[in-house]
A and B are shown apart, each in its own frame.
Chain A
Protein backbone atom coordinates (compact mmCIF):
# COMPACT_ATOMS: atom_id res chain seq x y z
CA UNK A 1 0.00 0.00 0.00
CA UNK A 2 1.43 3.36 -0.99
CA UNK A 3 1.79 6.05 1.64
CA UNK A 4 0.19 8.74 -0.49
CA UNK A 5 -0.21 9.39 -4.20
CA UNK A 6 1.86 11.85 -6.15
CA UNK A 7 -0.32 14.92 -6.59
CA UNK A 8 1.08 15.42 -10.09
CA UNK A 9 -0.49 12.09 -11.09
CA UNK A 10 -4.01 13.11 -9.99
CA UNK A 11 -6.31 14.95 -12.36
CA UNK A 12 -9.92 15.96 -12.46
CA UNK A 13 -11.87 13.39 -14.48
CA UNK A 14 -9.48 10.51 -13.76
CA UNK A 15 -11.13 7.17 -13.16
CA UNK A 16 -10.51 5.41 -9.87
CA UNK A 17 -9.25 1.79 -10.04
CA UNK A 18 -12.40 -0.32 -10.24
CA UNK A 19 -12.88 -3.23 -7.85
CA UNK A 20 -14.97 -6.28 -8.77
CA UNK A 21 -16.03 -8.88 -6.20
CA UNK A 22 -18.18 -11.98 -6.27
CA UNK A 23 -20.27 -12.43 -3.13
CA UNK A 24 -20.77 -15.81 -1.53
CA UNK A 25 -22.72 -16.84 1.53
CA UNK A 26 -19.37 -17.85 3.01
CA UNK A 27 -18.14 -14.24 2.66
CA UNK A 28 -21.28 -13.02 4.38
CA UNK A 29 -20.94 -15.53 7.22
CA UNK A 30 -17.29 -14.55 7.74
CA UNK A 31 -18.25 -10.90 7.75
CA UNK A 32 -20.87 -11.62 10.41
CA UNK A 33 -18.23 -13.28 12.56
CA UNK A 34 -15.77 -10.41 12.11
CA UNK A 35 -18.27 -7.61 12.69
CA UNK A 36 -20.50 -9.35 15.25
CA UNK A 37 -23.60 -8.63 13.14
CA UNK A 38 -25.50 -11.93 13.03
CA UNK A 39 -28.84 -10.48 11.92
CA UNK A 40 -30.66 -13.53 10.48
CA UNK A 41 -31.44 -11.69 7.25
CA UNK A 42 -27.73 -12.07 6.50
CA UNK A 43 -26.86 -15.50 7.87
CA UNK A 44 -30.01 -17.61 8.30
CA UNK A 45 -31.03 -18.84 4.85
CA UNK A 46 -34.20 -20.58 6.09
CA UNK A 47 -35.34 -17.45 7.96
CA UNK A 48 -34.46 -15.11 5.08
CA UNK A 49 -36.33 -17.25 2.55
CA UNK A 50 -39.57 -16.51 4.40
CA UNK A 51 -39.10 -12.73 4.35
CA UNK A 52 -40.08 -10.35 1.53
CA UNK A 53 -36.41 -10.41 0.42
CA UNK A 54 -36.81 -14.18 -0.24
CA UNK A 55 -33.22 -14.92 0.72
CA UNK A 56 -30.17 -13.69 2.54
CA UNK A 57 -28.56 -10.39 1.68
CA UNK A 58 -25.05 -9.10 2.28
CA UNK A 59 -24.38 -6.58 5.02
CA UNK A 60 -24.44 -3.10 3.50
CA UNK A 61 -21.14 -2.32 5.21
CA UNK A 62 -19.57 -5.35 3.50
CA UNK A 63 -20.35 -3.84 0.10
CA UNK A 64 -19.18 -0.43 1.30
CA UNK A 65 -15.83 -2.06 2.10
CA UNK A 66 -15.33 -2.52 -1.66
CA UNK A 67 -15.58 1.26 -2.12
CA UNK A 68 -13.08 1.76 0.67
CA UNK A 69 -10.74 -0.73 -1.03
CA UNK A 70 -10.99 1.29 -4.25
CA UNK A 71 -10.14 4.47 -2.35
CA UNK A 72 -7.20 2.77 -0.61
CA UNK A 73 -5.86 1.58 -3.96
CA UNK A 74 -6.11 5.11 -5.34
CA UNK A 75 -4.94 7.15 -2.36
CA UNK A 76 -3.02 4.76 -0.09
CA UNK A 77 -2.63 5.66 3.54
CA UNK A 78 -4.01 9.17 2.92
CA UNK A 79 -7.41 7.50 2.79
CA UNK A 80 -6.88 5.90 6.19
CA UNK A 81 -6.08 9.14 7.98
CA UNK A 82 -7.99 11.73 6.01
CA UNK A 83 -10.86 10.08 4.17
CA UNK A 84 -14.55 10.90 4.28
CA UNK A 85 -17.47 9.26 2.55
CA UNK A 86 -21.19 9.80 2.31
CA UNK A 87 -23.32 7.13 0.68
CA UNK A 88 -26.83 5.80 0.22
CA UNK A 89 -27.66 2.13 0.15
CA UNK A 90 -29.94 1.79 -2.89
CA UNK A 91 -30.51 -1.94 -3.21
CA UNK A 92 -29.60 -5.22 -1.53
CA UNK A 93 -26.68 -7.35 -2.65
CA UNK A 94 -27.13 -11.10 -2.53
CA UNK A 95 -25.00 -14.23 -2.54
CA UNK A 96 -23.81 -14.97 -6.10
CA UNK A 97 -23.99 -11.30 -7.08
CA UNK A 98 -20.93 -9.76 -8.69
CA UNK A 99 -20.39 -6.20 -7.54
CA UNK A 100 -18.29 -3.73 -9.47
CA UNK A 101 -17.24 -0.53 -7.76
CA UNK A 102 -16.12 2.33 -9.94
CA UNK A 103 -15.63 6.03 -9.53
CA UNK A 104 -13.90 9.15 -10.67
CA UNK A 105 -12.16 12.26 -9.44
CA UNK A 106 -14.61 15.13 -9.69
CA UNK A 107 -12.59 18.06 -8.39
CA UNK A 108 -9.38 18.92 -6.59
CA UNK A 109 -9.53 21.87 -4.25
CA UNK A 110 -7.16 23.49 -1.78
CA UNK A 111 -7.95 24.60 1.74
CA UNK A 112 -5.10 26.32 3.56
CA UNK A 113 -2.71 24.89 0.94
CA UNK A 114 -3.82 21.31 1.62
CA UNK A 115 -5.22 19.46 -1.43
CA UNK A 116 -8.59 17.77 -1.08
CA UNK A 117 -9.70 15.32 -3.77
CA UNK A 118 -13.46 15.00 -4.26
CA UNK A 119 -14.69 11.77 -5.86
CA UNK A 120 -17.98 10.12 -6.74
CA UNK A 121 -18.54 6.39 -6.99
CA UNK A 122 -21.09 3.63 -7.42
CA UNK A 123 -21.31 -0.07 -6.64
CA UNK A 124 -23.37 -1.92 -9.25
CA UNK A 125 -24.40 -5.55 -9.50
CA UNK A 126 -24.07 -7.77 -12.57
CA UNK A 127 -27.41 -6.45 -13.89
CA UNK A 128 -26.26 -2.85 -13.70
CA UNK A 129 -28.43 -2.04 -10.69
CA UNK A 130 -26.92 0.53 -8.33
CA UNK A 131 -26.40 -0.99 -4.89
CA UNK A 132 -24.53 1.96 -3.36
CA UNK A 133 -23.97 5.47 -4.63
CA UNK A 134 -22.01 8.19 -2.97
CA UNK A 135 -19.12 10.55 -2.74
CA UNK A 136 -15.83 10.72 -0.95
CA UNK A 137 -13.17 13.26 -0.08
CA UNK A 138 -9.50 12.59 0.62
CA UNK A 139 -7.18 15.05 2.29
CA UNK A 140 -3.72 14.50 0.80
CA UNK A 141 -1.19 15.10 3.53
Chain B
Protein backbone atom coordinates (compact mmCIF):
# COMPACT_ATOMS: atom_id res chain seq x y z
CA UNK B 1 0.00 0.00 0.00
CA UNK B 2 2.63 2.51 0.99
CA UNK B 3 6.26 3.24 0.73
CA UNK B 4 7.93 3.92 4.03
CA UNK B 5 10.22 6.90 4.11
CA UNK B 6 10.99 6.90 7.80
CA UNK B 7 13.00 4.80 10.22
CA UNK B 8 11.86 2.38 12.93
CA UNK B 9 8.87 3.63 14.92
CA UNK B 10 9.13 5.14 18.38
CA UNK B 11 6.72 4.65 21.26
CA UNK B 12 4.13 7.40 21.44
CA UNK B 13 5.44 8.12 24.96
CA UNK B 14 8.77 9.19 23.46
CA UNK B 15 7.15 11.65 21.08
CA UNK B 16 6.56 15.23 22.25
CA UNK B 17 3.36 17.10 21.63
CA UNK B 18 3.82 18.96 18.36
CA UNK B 19 5.94 16.19 16.84
CA UNK B 20 5.49 16.11 13.08
CA UNK B 21 5.53 12.69 11.46
CA UNK B 22 7.59 12.38 8.28
CA UNK B 23 5.34 12.41 5.22
CA UNK B 24 4.56 9.06 3.68
CA UNK B 25 3.48 8.73 0.08
CA UNK B 26 1.39 5.94 -1.39
CA UNK B 27 -0.41 5.14 -4.59
CA UNK B 28 -4.17 4.61 -4.58
CA UNK B 29 -4.07 2.11 -7.41
CA UNK B 30 -7.06 0.51 -9.10
CA UNK B 31 -6.15 -2.87 -7.57
CA UNK B 32 -6.15 -1.40 -4.04
CA UNK B 33 -9.45 0.38 -4.60
CA UNK B 34 -11.02 -2.74 -6.12
CA UNK B 35 -9.97 -4.71 -3.04
CA UNK B 36 -11.22 -1.94 -0.75
CA UNK B 37 -14.64 -1.83 -2.43
CA UNK B 38 -14.96 -5.59 -2.15
CA UNK B 39 -13.99 -5.47 1.53
CA UNK B 40 -16.57 -2.83 2.45
CA UNK B 41 -19.20 -4.11 0.01
CA UNK B 42 -19.62 -0.76 -1.67
CA UNK B 43 -20.76 -0.38 -5.27
CA UNK B 44 -18.35 -0.20 -8.18
CA UNK B 45 -19.61 3.32 -9.01
CA UNK B 46 -16.29 4.62 -7.76
CA UNK B 47 -14.42 2.49 -10.32
CA UNK B 48 -16.68 3.71 -13.10
CA UNK B 49 -16.12 7.31 -12.06
CA UNK B 50 -12.41 6.73 -11.44
CA UNK B 51 -12.65 8.32 -7.99
CA UNK B 52 -11.17 6.94 -4.76
CA UNK B 53 -13.76 6.45 -1.99
CA UNK B 54 -12.94 9.07 0.65
CA UNK B 55 -12.78 6.53 3.47
CA UNK B 56 -10.18 4.57 1.49
CA UNK B 57 -7.92 7.63 1.49
CA UNK B 58 -8.51 8.04 5.21
CA UNK B 59 -7.85 4.37 5.96
CA UNK B 60 -4.54 4.36 4.13
CA UNK B 61 -3.56 7.63 5.82
CA UNK B 62 -4.38 6.26 9.27
CA UNK B 63 -2.37 3.13 8.58
CA UNK B 64 0.59 5.15 7.30
CA UNK B 65 0.53 7.36 10.36
CA UNK B 66 -0.03 4.60 12.88
CA UNK B 67 3.02 2.78 11.56
CA UNK B 68 5.15 5.79 12.45
CA UNK B 69 4.89 5.09 16.17
CA UNK B 70 3.95 2.25 18.49
CA UNK B 71 1.23 1.97 21.10
CA UNK B 72 0.86 -0.78 23.70
CA UNK B 73 -1.33 -3.85 23.08
CA UNK B 74 -4.94 -3.12 23.97
CA UNK B 75 -4.90 0.37 22.44
CA UNK B 76 -8.08 1.34 20.63
CA UNK B 77 -9.12 3.84 17.99
CA UNK B 78 -11.51 5.93 20.06
CA UNK B 79 -12.71 8.70 17.77
CA UNK B 80 -12.23 10.16 14.33
CA UNK B 81 -12.91 13.40 12.54
CA UNK B 82 -12.55 13.69 8.76
CA UNK B 83 -13.09 16.38 6.17
CA UNK B 84 -13.10 15.57 2.46
CA UNK B 85 -11.91 18.51 0.44
CA UNK B 86 -11.38 17.25 -3.08
CA UNK B 87 -12.04 14.01 -5.00
CA UNK B 88 -8.92 11.97 -5.75
CA UNK B 89 -8.61 10.10 -9.07
CA UNK B 90 -7.82 6.40 -8.87
CA UNK B 91 -4.15 5.83 -9.63
CA UNK B 92 -3.08 9.03 -7.87
CA UNK B 93 -0.11 9.19 -5.56
CA UNK B 94 -0.91 11.06 -2.36
CA UNK B 95 1.21 12.15 0.55
CA UNK B 96 0.12 11.80 4.16
CA UNK B 97 1.52 13.88 6.96
CA UNK B 98 0.59 14.14 10.59
CA UNK B 99 1.25 15.82 13.89
CA UNK B 100 0.90 14.67 17.46
CA UNK B 101 -1.52 17.33 18.60
CA UNK B 102 -2.16 16.36 22.21
CA UNK B 103 -1.48 13.74 24.88
CA UNK B 104 -3.78 13.44 27.86
CA UNK B 105 -3.92 11.06 30.81
CA UNK B 106 -7.43 9.85 31.73
CA UNK B 107 -7.24 7.44 34.64
CA UNK B 108 -5.42 4.35 33.42
CA UNK B 109 -5.63 5.49 29.79
CA UNK B 110 -3.46 7.79 27.71
CA UNK B 111 -5.29 9.65 24.97
CA UNK B 112 -3.17 10.42 21.95
CA UNK B 113 -4.62 12.93 19.50
CA UNK B 114 -3.27 13.06 15.97
CA UNK B 115 -3.85 15.54 13.19
CA UNK B 116 -3.78 14.13 9.67
CA UNK B 117 -3.39 15.83 6.33
CA UNK B 118 -3.35 14.24 2.88
CA UNK B 119 -2.08 16.12 -0.17
CA UNK B 120 -2.40 15.23 -3.83
CA UNK B 121 0.37 15.28 -6.41
CA UNK B 122 -0.08 19.04 -6.88
CA UNK B 123 0.35 19.65 -3.16
CA UNK B 124 -3.33 20.48 -2.69
CA UNK B 125 -4.97 19.21 0.47
CA UNK B 126 -7.57 16.54 -0.30
CA UNK B 127 -8.38 15.33 3.21
CA UNK B 128 -7.83 16.47 6.77
CA UNK B 129 -8.68 14.79 10.00
CA UNK B 130 -8.12 14.15 13.66
CA UNK B 131 -7.91 10.78 15.36
CA UNK B 132 -7.85 9.86 19.03
CA UNK B 133 -6.20 6.66 20.17
CA UNK B 134 -6.74 5.43 23.72
CA UNK B 135 -3.72 3.53 25.00
CA UNK B 136 -3.51 1.68 28.32
CA UNK B 137 -0.81 2.87 30.71
Asked if A127 CB lies within 8 Å of chain B CBs, one says no
Interface string of A1-41 (1 = CB under 8 A from B): 10000000000000000000100000110110111110000
Asked if B10 CB lies within 8 Å of chain A CBs, one says no
The residues of B that contact A36 with a CB separation of less than 8 Å are 1-2, 60, 63-64, 67
Asked if B72 CB lies within 8 Å of chain A CBs, one says no
**Alpha-carbon distance between A72 and B45 when the two chains are bound, in angstroms:** 11
CB-based contact A1/B49 at 8 Å: yes
CB-based contact A88/B79 at 8 Å: yes
Smallest beta-carbon distance A48→chain B, Å:
11
CB-based contact B77/A89 at 8 Å: yes
> Which of A21, A82, A86, A88 gathers most chain B CB within 10 Å?
A86
The residues of A that contact B43 with a CB separation of less than 8 Å are 1
CB-based contact A35/B83 at 8 Å: no
Q: Which of B51, B59, B66, B76 contacts A80 (CB 8 A)?
A: B51
- CB proximity to A under 8 Å, residues B78-112: 78-87
Smallest beta-carbon distance A90→chain B, Å:
9
Q: Which of A1, A34, A79, A81 contacts B36 (CB 8 A)?
A: A34
Given A59-B59, A66-B40: A35 in contact with B84 (beta carbons within 8 A): no
**Chain A, residue nearest B45 (CB):** A1
Interface string of A77-117 (1 = CB under 8 A from B): 10111111111110000000000000000000000000000
Chain B contact residue count (CB 8 A cutoff) = 42
The residues of B that contact A68 with a CB separation of less than 8 Å are 53-55
The residues of A that contact B45 with a CB separation of less than 8 Å are 1
**Chain B, residue nearest A41 (CB):** B73
CB-based contact A30/B38 at 8 Å: yes
Asked if A69 CB lies within 8 Å of chain B CBs, one says yes
The residues of B that contact A87 with a CB separation of less than 8 Å are 79-81
**Alpha-carbon distance between A60 and B84 when the two chains are bound, in angstroms:** 18
CB-based contact B56/A37 at 8 Å: no
CB-based contact B59/A61 at 8 Å: yes
Asked if A52 CB lies within 8 Å of chain B CBs, one says yes
Interchain residue pairs with CB less than 8 A apart (14): A1-B49, A21-B40, A33-B39, A34-B35, A35-B1, A37-B59, A51-B74, A60-B77, A61-B59, A61-B77, A65-B40, A69-B40, A79-B84, A84-B81
Which residues of A come within 8 Å of B, CB atoms?
A: 1, 21, 27-28, 30-31, 33-37, 51-52, 59-62, 64-66, 68-69, 72, 77, 79-89
